[in-house]
Structure 1
Amino acid sequence: MKFVAKSKHVKNGNIYIGVAIVVMVVLFISSSQTYEQQSQLSLLEKLLKNEPFKARLSQISFSYAGSPVSIKESGYFSFVEFFIRKGAHFGTYFILGGSWFLGLQPRIKNMGLTALVSWLAATGYAGLDEFHQMLTGGRTPLFQDVMLDSMGALTAIVICLVVMLIKRVRKGS
Structure 2
Amino acid sequence: MDNSLKTKQKWFWGLVVAIEAILFYSSSMTYKEQTSVPFLEKYLAGKPFYNALSKIGFTYSGKYQSVENDGYFKFVEFFIRKGAHFGIYLLLGVFLCLALYTYFKKNFVLMIFIPWMVATGLAAFDEFHQGLTGGRTPLVEDVILDSTGALVGILILVLVLYLIRRHEFKNK
Stretches of structure 2 lacking an aligned partner (at least 5 in a row): none
Q: Once superposed, which parts of structure 1, at least 4 consecutive aligned residues long, lie more than 3 Å away? A: 7-12
1:107 Cα deviation after fit: 3.1
Length-normalised TM-score, structure 2: 0.93
Matches within 5 A, 1:1-173: 11-109=7-105, 110-173=107-170
1:10 Cα deviation after fit: 6.1
- Aligned-partner Cα distance in 2 for 1:115–1:75: 40
1:9 Cα deviation after fit: 7.3
- Aligned-partner Cα distance in 1 for 2:79–2:62: 16
- Aligned-partner Cα distance in 2 for 1:9–1:154: 20
Spell out, residue by residue over 1:32-73, the C-alpha distance to the aligned partner (whole angstroms, 9 max, x if none).
010111101000000000001101110000000010100000
- Aligned-partner Cα distance in 2 for 1:162–1:144: 27
Q: What is the aligned partner in structure 2 of residue 3 from structure 1?
A: none
Q: Which amino acid aligns with 2:144?
A: M
Overall identity of the aligned pairs, in %: 46
Spell out, residue by residue over 1:77-131, the C-alpha distance to the aligned partner (whole angstroms, 9 max, x if none).
0000000000000011011110000111023333321221100110000000001
Spell out, residue by residue over 1:3-55, the C-alpha distance to the aligned partner (whole angstroms, 9 max, x if none).
xxxx9676341111110110001000101010111101000000000001101
- Aligned-partner Cα distance in 2 for 1:9–1:101: 11
C-alpha RMSD of the superposition = 1.4
- Equivalent residues of 1:10, 1:16 under 8 A apart: no
- Aligned-partner Cα distance in 2 for 1:90–1:9: 25
- Aligned-partner Cα distance in 1 for 2:16–2:117: 14
Length-normalised TM-score, structure 1: 0.92
2:165 is paired with a residue of what secondary structure?
A: helix
- Equivalent residues of 1:9, 1:15 under 8 A apart: no
Task: Note closer, same or farther for the CA distance 1:59–1:88 as it changes in structure 2 (3 Å cut).
Answer: same
